[in-house]
């Protein structure tokens, strides 16, 4: 019976937004997030800037090391937006302030938030946040753009992709495309690195992997 069930499960057609890590976390599509076919094997998640986002089952980042990375292409027609949120108004928030061209990440209502001027509008970029011990580093296209103390205890909570509570200022929804999102429970990068040209894979320690049905990464 177990062997038969395993075979049937492996033959199922997974939704394009499925978590393809070994953990196979459940993901719920909310609103009108859709899959975009960008050609040559590139498939992306397309967000329309309304109340649309993807939500995973709870992930606990805690006080340990972790890496959050993804490819992102933000629409310049959108104002202040959320790329990623874990834990609601008191959790990890990762976003972009279009009016000031600022990428930011931090724990809501906590001072030690990373801010860095960088434009990610209307073209593909790779963004990574790496926490090692109590040091957090943000990388844009493989180059470190900000470093800050990060001694936060991130709560175990659902991941909202494409939405967040904007530091107590209300909900922000992403408009644009995302690809190749991965969260790992260790520091993948320790120094500057070449901009990835391939999709992330389910390496040891992967907590979430979403390639949105793609077989190729977008060109940065």
Range of 205's domain? 16-210
The Cα–Cα gap between 92 and 81 comes to 14
| 149 located within any domain | yes
pLDDT tens digits, 18-56: 999 999 999 999 999 999 999 999 999 999 888 889 999
pLDDT tens digits, 46-101: 998 888 899 999 998 889 999 999 998 887 666 555 666 666 655 677 766 665 55
Query: Which CATH number covers residue 92?
Result: 2.60.120.200
| 104 located within any domain | yes
pLDDT tens digits, 120-169: 678 898 988 899 999 888 888 999 888 888 888 888 888 888 886 554 44
- 3-state DSSP assignment of residue 194: coil
From the list 183, 179, 165, 214, the residue with the least C-alpha distance to 74 is 179
| 22 located within any domain | yes
Residues 159 and 85 sit within 8 Å (Cβ to Cβ): yes
**Predicted structure pTM score:** 0.86
| 134 located within any domain | yes
- 3-state DSSP assignment of residue 96: strand
| 220 located within any domain | no
Q: For the chain, how many structural domains are there in total?
A: 1
- pLDDT over 90 at 198, yes or no: yes
């Amino acid at each position: 019976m177990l062997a038969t069930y395993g075979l049937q499960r492996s033959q199922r057609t997974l939704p394009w937004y499925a978590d393809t890590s070994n953990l196979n976390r459940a993901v719920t599509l909310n609103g009108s997030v859709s899959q975009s076919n960008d050609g040559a094997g590139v498939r992306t998640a397309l967000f329309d800037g309304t109340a649309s986002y993807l939500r995973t089952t709870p992930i606990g980042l805690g006080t340990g090391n972790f890496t959050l990375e993804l490819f992102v292409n933000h629409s310049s027609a959108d104002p202040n937006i959320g790329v990623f949120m874990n834990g609601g108004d008191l959790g990890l928030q990762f976003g972009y302030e279009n009016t000031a061209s600022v990428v930011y990440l931090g724990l809501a209502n906590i001072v030690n938030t990373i801010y860095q001027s960088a434009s990610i509008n209307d073209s593909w970029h790779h963004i990574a946040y790496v926490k090692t011990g109590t040091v957090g580093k943000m990388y844009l296209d493989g180059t470190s753009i900000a470093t800050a103390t990060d001694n936060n205890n991130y709560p175990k909570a659902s991941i909202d992709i494409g939405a967040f509570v904007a530091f107590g200022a209300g909900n922000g929804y992403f408009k644009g495309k995302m690809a190749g999102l991965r969260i790992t429970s260790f520091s993948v990068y320790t120094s500057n690195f070449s901009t990835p040209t391939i999709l992330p894979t389910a390496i040891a320690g992967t907590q979430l992997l979403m390639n949105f049905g793609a077989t190729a990464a977008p060109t940065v």
